[in-house]
Amino acid sequence: MVEQDLRSTPLEAVHESLGATFTDFAGWRMPVRYDSDLAEHRAVRESAGLFDLSHMGEIHLIGPEAPAALDHALAGKMSAMSVGRAKYSLLLTEDGGIIDDVITYRLAEDHFLVVANASNAEADAAALRERAEGFDVEVDDRSLATALVAVQGPASEQILLDTLFAADSGVEALTREDITEMKYYRFTTGTYRGGELLIARTGYTGEDGFELYVPTEHAAALWEQLTAAGGERLTPCGLACRDTLRLEAGMPLYGNELSRDLYPAQAGMGRVVALKSKEDFVGRSGVENADVSSRPVLVGMVAEGRRAARAGSTVRDAEGREVGEITSGALSPTLGYPIALAYVDPAAAEVGTELIIDVRGKDLPARVVELPFYSRS
């Protein structure tokens, strides 16, 4: 794909002015870094980072039967969620494979927002429309009209407060307590420059943080206000450090750890599928009938030294037998040693198991560990 065919976020000019290096991500021209991957990663762990996530999909379901439609469409029980809460769930194939992992927000009794990964946004919208047929609900894909920016890190709450409640911030219908008392996977709403504003205490970094949804026409102003309020506490961050942050936190990436060929139980997500709490839904029979006892399962692995395994690297046991494959790997900036996620045979998945990773033709001794690799104190 030539660069001019890539989609651009409403913040592209801002990224260019900051000297960002761009990459093609799921058909979008996205900033991969501004300066140093390591510096951006550390900024999020130690202070705060600012991310443009406007490539993500935002799909609204509105109508009296929206709860029932989502219970049918997704693996989780969305109808049991209270207004003001968010829930992680899966969109499954009929056979029980994973189309996407999504976060759903209940905006009102009859109004939900489903946030999809960029690579799957259009497919998710199409699947939700198809699965909503027969229900009294409207499916409205507002992805291209919605911008999403995230502030992540231990200083994120104070930076957000300094931004939202500064003089002439343009923010209305919010109080400081709406932010300070917000718990994880909760959200609040207000207005920003007359447009709708949704602020969620969610993220993909393993740190405390917030994700802010605004109309695309207000994205640049919001970014600039956050930057001004954050000052030296806030660093613009690209996709490269977002990947190492989520890997340290043991969070799966669609296309690496999740796919249509994998069942939730293989990825350690059996609990996400509401087999006991609701009736039939798309993918239920596939999940129930699948024999995953001999299928590879997702594990975390650590090694010593500075050589990091990459996706596609082979994993062998002590006898030299191939038992799996790396899906994500990096030299952890926070921990200082190599970490990786891998799918391995169940017999090799027990914590403490000693394995060998083929890193560019050289053996790297590694062992299976519990996830996450990193957890904030």
Q: Is the pLDDT of residue 159 over 70?
A: yes
Strands 146-152 and 171-172: unpaired
pLDDT, tens digit, 9 for 90 and up, residues 117-126: 999 999 999 9
Above 60 in pLDDT, residue 173?
Answer: yes
Helix, strand or coil for residue 303?
Answer: strand
Whether the ω angle into residue 372 lies within 30 degrees of 0, i.e. cis, is: yes
Spatial CB neighbours of 278, under 8 Å, sequence gap ≥ 6: 71, 77, 79
pTM: 0.96
Which band of pLDDT confidence, cut at 50, 70 and 90, is reported for residue 5? Answer: confident
Provide the token pair at 252.
């799966």
Give the pLDDT confidence score for residue 377 in this predicted structure: 77
Report the relative pairing of strands 21-25 and 28-33 from DSSP bridges. antiparallel
1-290 maps to which CATH number? 3.30.1360.120
pLDDT of residue 4: 61
Q: How large is the average pLDDT for residues 275-291?
A: 95
Residue with more model confidence, 367 or 279? 367
- Using left for φ > 0, alpha for ψ between -120 and 50, and beta otherwise, residue 225 falls in alpha
Q: Which residues of 303-324 are buried (b: 16+ CB within 10 A; e: fewer)?
A: beeeebbebebebbbeeeeebb
- When pLDDT is cut at 50, 70 and 90, the band that residue 1 belongs to is very low
Tell me the C-alpha distance between 214 and 53, whole Å.
Answer: 12
Q: What is the pLDDT of residues 319-359, one digit of tens each?
A: 999 999 999 999 999 999 999 999 999 999 999 999 999 99
Q: Across-strand partners of 87?
A: 104
CATH fold of 296-377: Elongation Factor Tu (Ef-tu); domain 3 (2.40.30)
* N residues, the chain: 377
* Average pLDDT for 295-313: 97
Q: Residue 186 carries which DSSP code? A: B
pLDDT tens digits, 19-39: 999 999 999 999 999 999 999
Mean of all residue pLDDT scores within the chain: 97
The share of the chain scoring above pLDDT 90, in percent, equals 98
Residue 2: the pLDDT is: 43
List pLDDT tens digits, range 178-221.
999 999 999 999 999 999 999 999 999 999 999 999 999 999 99
What kind and span of H or E run contains 262?
A: none
DSSP 182: P
Are both 1-290 and 296-377 of the same fold? no
For CA atoms 120, 329, 47, 208, the dihedral sign is positive
Of 290, 325, 294, nearest in space to 310 by CA: 325
pLDDT tier for residue 3 given thresholds of 50, 70 and 90: low
End-to-end CA distance of the chain: 43
Q: Taking the alpha carbons of 341, 346, 347, 352 in that order, is the dihedral positive or negative?
A: positive
* Omega prior to 31 cis, within 30 of 0: no
pLDDT in tens, 106-119: 999 999 999 999 99
The model's pLDDT over 217-251, given as tens digits with 9 standing for 90+, comes to 999 999 999 999 999 999 999 999 999 999 999 99
Q: Where are the domains of the chain?
A: 1-290, 296-377
